[in-house]
Amino acid sequence: MRSLFGSSESTSSSKGTDGDRYPRHSSGWKELLKHLQSQDSLRILDIGPTSSTNINFITSLGHSIYMANVVEEAAKPEWVVPGEGGEPAGFDVDRFLDNNLNFSGRVFDVVILWDTADYLPESLVAPVFARIQQVLQPGGLMLAFFHATTATDTSFCRYHLTDTDVVEIQRAGSYPLLHSYSNRTIENMLKDFSSYRFFLAKDSLREVIITR
């Protein structure tokens, strides 16, 4: 994790080779941008590969930002619980959350999850949503993307914010896409939040704005 409240400094630690940026229309980001532009001094949690563009943009709006790249962290072997014969017996969920999503009592007004859930081990997905629900202010908003397919040509990406309804997508590593979810499954994952709204998209990404 990297604490970046009020800072415009960033370094990227994602694996793989960064590629060109590609624009993508995002109805979810369009709605969230309106919220950010109408509010003052919000605390934003960006859960994805570090983007200096996002840091500079969020702070230019007068908000503070905190970043956590949990996909990169979850791919490290140190969280695997060894079983008999050295075979993996599970994922150390509690220790992972304590080390990577422990905000020391800090709460957030907005969480941008991107497509993080699709790249996490299955045993970690529900606990991550539970932790986000705990640290998101009542009435706070979360923007999340979900892949509708686990196509093998899907790349793990960094998403860069803009001041329009477009986000810029850039390859950020070689992590495999582990999940795709139906709308019903996503609704079950969000059952502890007060409401959510799906947005139609022309590509394989579903967009959801969730309210705590």
For 142-197, write each residue's pLDDT tens digit.
999 999 876 656 789 999 999 999 999 999 988 999 999 899 999 999 999 999 99
Provide the pLDDT confidence category of residue 14 given band limits of 50, 70 and 90: very low
Angle, vertex CA 143, rays to CA 3 and CA 72, nearest 5: 50
For 80-117, write each residue's pLDDT tens digit.
988 776 666 789 999 999 999 999 999 999 999 999 99
Q: Is residue 33 pLDDT above 70, yes or no?
A: yes
Residue of 211 and 200 predicted with greater confidence: 211
Alpha carbon 101 to its chain centroid, in Å, reads 12
- What are the chain's domains? 2-7+15-211 (3.40.50.150)
The pLDDT, as a whole number, for residue 87 is 64
The pLDDT, as a whole number, for residue 16 is 35
Find the range with the poorest average confidence among 47-56, 131-140, 183-192, 195-204.
195-204
| Residue 173 CA: distances (Å) to CA of 112, 119, 135, 196 | 19, 11, 27, 29
Q: What percent of the chain has pLDDT over 90?
A: 75
The pLDDT, as a whole number, for residue 202 is 79
Distance CA 60, CA 49 (A): 20
Q: Is residue 1 pLDDT above 60, yes or no?
A: no
Distance CA 12, CA 174 (A): 15
Q: Tokens 């590593």 correspond to what residue?
A: 173
The pLDDT, as a whole number, for residue 139 is 97
CB 43 within 8 A of CB 103: no
The structure's pTM equals: 0.87
Distance CA 128, CA 96 (A): 10
Distance CA 174, CA 98 (A): 25
